[in-house]
Amino acid sequence: MNTNVLQTPIAYLKGVGPNRAETLKTELGIHTYQDLINLFPNRYIDKTQYYKINQLQRNSADVQVIGKITHIKSVAQKKGQRLVARFVDETGEMELVWFRGQKWIRENLKLNTPYVIFGKTNWYSGIFSMPHPEMELLSEHQGGLKVSMQPVYPSTEKLGNTGITNRTTNKLIQQLFMETKGRFSETLSPSLLKELNLISKSEAMFNIHFPKSQELLAKSQYRLKFEELFYIQLQLIAKNAQHKQKIKGFTFDQVGTRFNEFYSEYLPFELTNAQKRVIKEIRADLGSNAQMNRLLQGDVGSGKTIVALMTMLLAIDNGYQACLMAPTEILANQHYIGIKELLKDMGINIALLTGSVKKSARNIIHEQLENGELHIIIGTHALLEDKVQYKNLGLAIIDEQHRFGVAQRSKLWHKNNIPPHILVMTATPIPRTLAMSLYGDLDISVIDELPPGRKPIKTVHRFDSNRLKVFQFVRDEIKKGRQVYVVYPLIQESEAMDYKDLMDGYESIARDFPLPDYQISIVHGQMKPADKDYEMERFVKGETQIMVATTVIEVGVNVPNASVMIIESAERFGLSQLHQLRGRVGRGADQSFCILMTSHKLSADSKTRLETMVATNDGFEIAEVDLKLRGPGDLMGTQQSGVLNLKIADIIKDNDLLKMARHYAQKFLKEDPYLSQNPVIKHAYEQLVKHKNIWNYIS
């Protein structure tokens, strides 16, 4: 079928018209025939059986009854009124009830005419009633497309109130099939259909809307899910390949003296196999003449910083400068102190540029960057200012990338004529499934083992009633010379309440851990940055044993001597946040502990989160559970929530299908980069890109 027909505006479909078209647009995003045909049912109802009124049972099943309306009346109720109709067949009578859209219903109902009604029944004062039934004249019902399994389409309250019921949607789709004769251009190549034993596009489209059997429905869903995931992967992989062809990078062909000297003389510990593998992947990128665009994932404490540092040394060996950008001053400072310490005997110039650097010092840094005296610059957003110009920036490393927008990253790109190589680091494990879709156009490296000597953190869940025992445990740990974090939730909506909890908690800890034996630091969002830094500093130096804080300490604070993390009201945190907080301890050689404190009242999801934390330290496993609980939108934060706007596939449930789709997309592009030998796929791909029906994923 000509794909252009599917681009017809929806208002032209018989039965739609301008008003309905507007509602369909705003409520479901349906603009064209194509959008309507791709509105797939959420579920299906078996409508093979008709019941008599005297056969109805008091259960919650949907039933179908044939009968007539003999009488309609409005009945007053507390708020407004409801419309009630008396519905009879030869065995008895029941009531039909409407609470909304009464005017429209009253005008359109026919008395003493056979109807087929469908819905859930309620039993109330000796009679069955059916609220908001689906209704169809028996004459139309007998003439319609006979389907044993009825599709149920996505809907909204507004659609229902304006008379666009599930039945209406179903009829519109029947109309569309009549106008297009149910013929759809094939979008997958004959070889793929044969190899994967998939049914044709036309057969799949028909059976997804009007399934002839359970088996055909399953085949249709499988075929359409594969197709959707296949084209998304095709686009992401093609984008990555184009990027490598189009965007030339600097070629770092030397592994020079700085890299080798550091590796053999100054490396503080033996690299793990995972670190070695990742450095190898990065070196291969830097040696090709394409710009590197790589995502480095590694759990908290897996040694990403050393990998970043060695990558910077490769840039310096090849005569280029490197920059490292972090989301907060605390984190930038920490990177600066750590890296300066590691490189102190190597004669490499490093500077720190953040908002609090004084103007005079700032001017010197600007000058040294431009004349090339500075090898490495570490900083915050301050690195993006227009004044910051480099002599030859060859590598930009971005830490905790989800905190920087796309626009900010592209600013770094434009500091040079040739864009620098980009390495993005994150300690927020992204499930492999999601990474394939969200960052499909970045190459991904994963550090999946911890450095030797690190003991896994022991995690336990305790109720508030066990608090005295927990405090005793804390005293024992402090006696051994260790330090302790106590973290309280802070959520925008309930800030006043949270602040009170934090202060109450602080007071009760101060009572149980009195001066002069114990020193306590407190850090929260309402403090001035200088006070916050002062308190942090005291804890880092070991002058205080207990740090009471809100989640400001989530990212990047490194106190190897802290071995206990107590998380108060742990049920109010998300899984990834709990995992990040736990990662603040376990940074030294001592056994560390994470104690999750909660009340006895827990929802099912909270229980799952707590059980997961107790069961595993693996960030990827945790991220997979998080994805199942929260869905892909929430996981990436609101700014990316619309990103997985899939029509039929489900990133989580169809994980295996996604892997298969990616495998075939890679295979096709590898064997035939321009798809010239696969005209069917080439045409379908071009149509999708042209009509923006592939969602442009961001990374």
What φ, ψ does residue 423 adopt, rounded to 5°?
A: -125, 120
DSSP SS3 for 155: coil
Kindly state the percentage of the chain with pLDDT values over 70.
90
CA distance linking residue 538 with residue 404, whole number of Å: 30
Per DSSP, what are the bridge partners of residue 117?
Answer: 65, 135
The pLDDT score that the predictor gives to residue 639 is 33
Q: Is the pLDDT of residue 242 over 50?
A: yes
CA distance linking residue 124 with residue 128, whole number of Å: 6
Q: Which pair of tokens denotes residue 373?
A: 């005296």
For residue range 587-604, list pLDDT tens digits in order: 877 899 999 999 999 988
The pLDDT score that the predictor gives to residue 401 is 58
Q: Residues 52-60: what's their mean pLDDT?
A: 82
**DSSP-based helix, strand, coil % in the chain, nearest 5:** 45, 20, 35
Q: Is the pLDDT of residue 564 over 90?
A: yes
Helix H or strand E segment including 44: strand 43-46
SS (H, E, C) 324-358: EECCCHHHHHHHHHHHHHHCCCCCCCEEEECCCCC
Of 285 and 452, the structure prediction assigns the larger pLDDT to 285
The pLDDT score that the predictor gives to residue 554 is 47
The pLDDT score that the predictor gives to residue 587 is 80
Q: Is the pLDDT of residue 640 over 50?
A: no
Q: 101 falls in which pLDDT band (50, 70, 90)?
A: confident
Lowest mean pLDDT among 188-192, 299-303, 555-559, 620-624: 555-559
CA distance linking residue 407 with residue 646, whole number of Å: 25
Q: Alpha-carbon dihedral of residues 451, 455, 460, 465, nearest 10 degrees?
A: -120
Looking at residue 295, its amino acid is L
Kindly state the percentage of the chain with pLDDT values over 90.
49
Q: Which pair of tokens denotes residue 204?
A: 């799949």
Q: Residues 160-182: what's their mean pLDDT?
A: 90
CA distance linking residue 306 with residue 279, whole number of Å: 10
The pLDDT score that the predictor gives to residue 631 is 64
Q: Is there a cis peptide before residue 133, judged by omega within 30 degrees of 0?
A: no
Mean pLDDT of the chain: 86
* Residue in the structure block whose two tokens are 């990374």: 699
Considering 302-306, 397-401, 480-484, the range whose residues carry the highest mean pLDDT is: 480-484
Helix H or strand E segment including 404: none
The pLDDT score that the predictor gives to residue 1 is 55
Q: Which pair of tokens denotes residue 501?
A: 């909890």
Of 540 and 415, the structure prediction assigns the larger pLDDT to 540
The pLDDT score that the predictor gives to residue 632 is 57
Q: Residues 528-540: what's their mean pLDDT?
A: 86
Contact 518, 479 (CB under 8 A): no
Give the Cβ contact number of residue 468 at 10 Å.
9
Q: 156 falls in which pLDDT band (50, 70, 90)?
A: confident
DSSP E strand stretches across 109-179: 115-120, 122-124, 127-131, 134-137, 149-152
- Domains in the chain (CATH in brackets) are 48-146 (2.40.50.140), 257-287+302-426 (3.40.50.300), 458-616 (3.40.50.300)
The pLDDT score that the predictor gives to residue 391 is 92
CA distance linking residue 87 with residue 71, whole number of Å: 8
For residue 551, the 8-state DSSP code is: G
The pLDDT score that the predictor gives to residue 347 is 92
For residue range 348-365, list pLDDT tens digits in order: 999 999 988 999 999 999
The pLDDT score that the predictor gives to residue 644 is 53
Q: Residues 438-452: what's their mean pLDDT?
A: 78
CA distance linking residue 605 with residue 610, whole number of Å: 9
**Strands lying side by side in the sheet with 350-353:** 350-353, 376-379, 321-325, 393-399, 421-426, 293-298, 443-447
CA distance linking residue 348 with residue 92, whole number of Å: 93
How distant, in Å, are the alpha carbons of 63, 93, 372, 435, 512 from that of 298?
53, 67, 32, 13, 38
The pLDDT score that the predictor gives to residue 638 is 32
CA distance linking residue 262 with residue 346, whole number of Å: 8
Contact 359, 342 (CB under 8 A): no
Q: 441 falls in which pLDDT band (50, 70, 90)?
A: low
Q: 553 falls in which pLDDT band (50, 70, 90)?
A: low
Contact 145, 209 (CB under 8 A): no
- Kindly give the interhelix angle for 166-180 and 201-209, rounded to the nearest 10 degrees: 150
Of 100 and 513, the structure prediction assigns the larger pLDDT to 513
Q: Going by DSSP bridges, is the β-strand pair 321-325/376-379 parallel, antiparallel, or unpaired? A: parallel
Q: Residues 59-85: what's their mean pLDDT?
A: 88
The pLDDT score that the predictor gives to residue 370 is 94
Q: Which pair of tokens denotes residue 128?
A: 């069955």
CA distance linking residue 286 with residue 5, whole number of Å: 48
Give the Cβ contact number of residue 71 at 10 Å.
13
The pLDDT score that the predictor gives to residue 146 is 61
Helix H or strand E segment including 377: strand 376-379
Lowest mean pLDDT among 257-271, 273-287, 642-656: 642-656
